[in-house]
Structure 1
């Protein structure tokens, strides 16, 4: 008589250890290599006189001169203040309005036409109106930056609330959670990735609007300095302003990206 042996259970597969440091290290190496290659190409282009560009050493020398005489620090402070205030005010207003539009259909029906209308109008096109209505002080400069940040953030927040999985909301209601608890425990965490992406996009729009905003009777700022340098064909100063805007924008974007990773750590990542 044949003996039937019961099937043996397969041992569960061991999870592969995640390499925590290899990927960031590789990314850093690639970033440094890209920077070196970019500087080399820039140096070669300027060395052979293509497009009449100043070389990296010339731009670095000009940046040193501006740093020594205090011009660069004053321009950095003025531009950072305008971008930070405009971006902070725009985001602070956009997030609650986006939640309001996403949570209440009546508010969405009333406000969405205006949001979509002004989203189609470039903030730069409102500069003449801002000058007429708000004067030539700091207010119109901050206003156009505020508008750029607001429009991107409010649309992203609205989209985040609308895209929340209805199953999560229904499950919370079945468990007896009131609307306030659902909003705090379900809607806000689920919308956080959209809000942070909108903030990053709004930050880029704020820096993009800065140069035009500083057309409004500014006496300091990176955009103002670049426009003054344009009149005298001072290309090194223009490059200093471009690089400063890019570096500051990237630094602020990295901070938002770090906040996004910390606030959305529960999210599945691929």
Structure 2
């Protein structure tokens, strides 16, 4: 009598395991993970708000206790004046256009080059020494040479931004390709997948997080390069406006430029984070 009963228990074990797994997939109990995720997101938003308010409070306190800082109301008043005069819109449009063109062009070229370097040994051997060579040279160090060769128009400023974004993103993409788990590639080959299919279905998705991290880092480098480029050769832009304000010791205008760059950079970074969450939803996050 014991044997059949034990056999029935053994046969029922897969059913019990299946029932347990069912509880973990949609249709089981999805409310708890969703609620936990929402709670974590709400907590982060609250902490972000506290951080912003605290930072402004520290800034205001320093301005009132002897530091040569303009107060937040003074910066807002100066920003409103620049906006009404049309200078702020002109500077925002000029700087944002340069960053977008240089950053998007640099990232668009860096991604295929990084894929080729990571996938083909010949390409890696040919390209990597030059990329590593130029990566150690700050793009701004090349600005005097670029100005001599390309003049003082928009091309040299966009080029150094392009270079800054490209060098960061290409290394990140390359690292993403070479970091793909070889077990996944070998498993795909065992299942009969060709190299093209493996590249599209395995390598590209696995490299996407690295690419987006490289793009976020390249975005910061693009803004840093832009401001320095506008300090040297520009007739409009946030960096140019800050340089002009420095000559007249106009700290409020300098702060307006800093705040605008920070806000624009933050918004663009959040857009990349949103794209990352959509493209890498399969990735586990803390």
Q: Report the TM-score when normalising by structure 2.
A: 0.88
Which residue of 1 is the match for residue 147 of structure 2? 131
Query: Displacement, 1:39?
Result: 1.2
Kindly indicate which of the two structures has a greater share of residues assigned to helix.
2
Matches within 5 A, 1:223-262: 223-262=239-278
Which residue of 2 is the match for residue 208 of structure 1? 224
Which residue of 1 is the match for residue 46 of structure 2? 29
| Alignment RMSD (CA, Å) | 1.8
Farther-moved stretch of structure 1 (34-43 vs 134-143):
34-43
Matches within 5 A, 1:118-157: 118-157=134-173
Which residue of 2 is the match for residue 114 of structure 1? 130
What's the secondary structure of 1:74's corresponding residue? helix
Query: Displacement, 1:259?
Result: 0.3
Residue 89 (structure 1) aligned with residue 105 (structure 2): yes
Farther-moved stretch of structure 1 (169-178 vs 255-264):
169-178
Which residue of 2 is the match for residue 177 of structure 1? 193
CA contact (8 A) 1:136 1:216 kept: no
Which residue of 2 is the match for residue 163 of structure 1? 179
What's the secondary structure of 1:21's corresponding residue? helix
Farther-moved stretch of structure 1 (65-74 vs 149-158):
65-74
Residue 67 (structure 1) aligned with residue 94 (structure 2): no
For 1:157 and 1:221, how far apart are their aligned partners in 2?
31
For 2:249 and 2:235, how far apart are their aligned partners in 1?
19
For 2:117 and 2:198, how far apart are their aligned partners in 1?
16
Query: Displacement, 1:216?
Result: 4.1
The count of corresponding residues between Structure 1 and Structure 2 is 265
Map Cα deviations across residues 9-30 of structure 1 (whole Å, 9 max, x no partner): 8995966712232111111111
**4+ long deviations beyond 2 Å:** 5-16
Which residue of 1 is the match for residue 57 of structure 2? 40
Map Cα deviations across residues 174-227 of structure 1 (whole Å, 9 max, x no partner): 111111111111110010000000000000100011111113431110011001
Which residue of 2 is the match for residue 268 of structure 1? 284
Unaligned runs of 5+ in 2: none
Find the partner of 2:94 among 78, 81, 93.
78
CA contact (8 A) 1:160 1:194 kept: yes
Farther-moved stretch of structure 1 (150-159 vs 15-24):
15-24
What's the secondary structure of 1:233's corresponding residue? coil
Matches within 5 A, 1:176-195: 176-195=192-211
For 1:264 and 1:60, how far apart are their aligned partners in 2?
39
For 2:61 and 2:272, how far apart are their aligned partners in 1?
35
Unaligned runs of 5+ in 1: none
Map Cα deviations across residues 65-93 of structure 1 (whole Å, 9 max, x no partner): 11111111110000000000000110011
For 2:77 and 2:282, how far apart are their aligned partners in 1?
47
